[in-house]
Amino acid sequence: ETGVTQSPTHLIKTRGQQVTLRCSSQSGHNTVSWYQQALGQGPQFIFQYYREEENGRGNFPPRFSGLQFPNYSSELNVNALELDDSALYLCASSWAGRGTQYFGPGTRLTVL
């Protein structure tokens, strides 16, 4: 059984740029959720994708967008990067949009 994987591991961008983060869900899971974890904080829910459609969104602006593909992998896109976007971005997979979420190792984004 393959766990949740994320790429890249680390990323450095400058303010105003755009970034794409990628996530592959655990085998057998069809739902992917994205979280932002600022330093010293708990993860904050960004949005969830289920069957290739957004299935819930947290309090994040529209410049945070996502996609889910037929193989259930997912992308998180952030446009017009701001310094406060610097954080660990976590992807979690689950079954049918509910229940236990299993997390990947995260992508550390630094915005300069």
The window from 13-21, 52-60, 64-72, 75-83 that contacts another protein (CB under 8 A) reads 52-60
Rank residues 16 and 108 by Cβ distance to another protein and give the closer one.
Answer: 108
Distance from C-alpha of 65 to C-alpha of 87, rounded to nearest angstrom: 16
| Nearest distance in Å: CB 16, another protein | 27
Measured from the CB atom, is 23 or 111 closer to another protein? 23
Which of 43/66 has CB closer to another protein? 43
* Dihedral pair phi/psi, residue 30, rounded to 5°: -120, 10
Phi, psi torsion values for 84, nearest 5 degrees? -70, -5
Binding residues for another protein, rule: CB under 8 A, are 4, 6, 31, 33, 35, 40-45, 48, 50, 55-56, 58, 90, 92, 97-106, 108
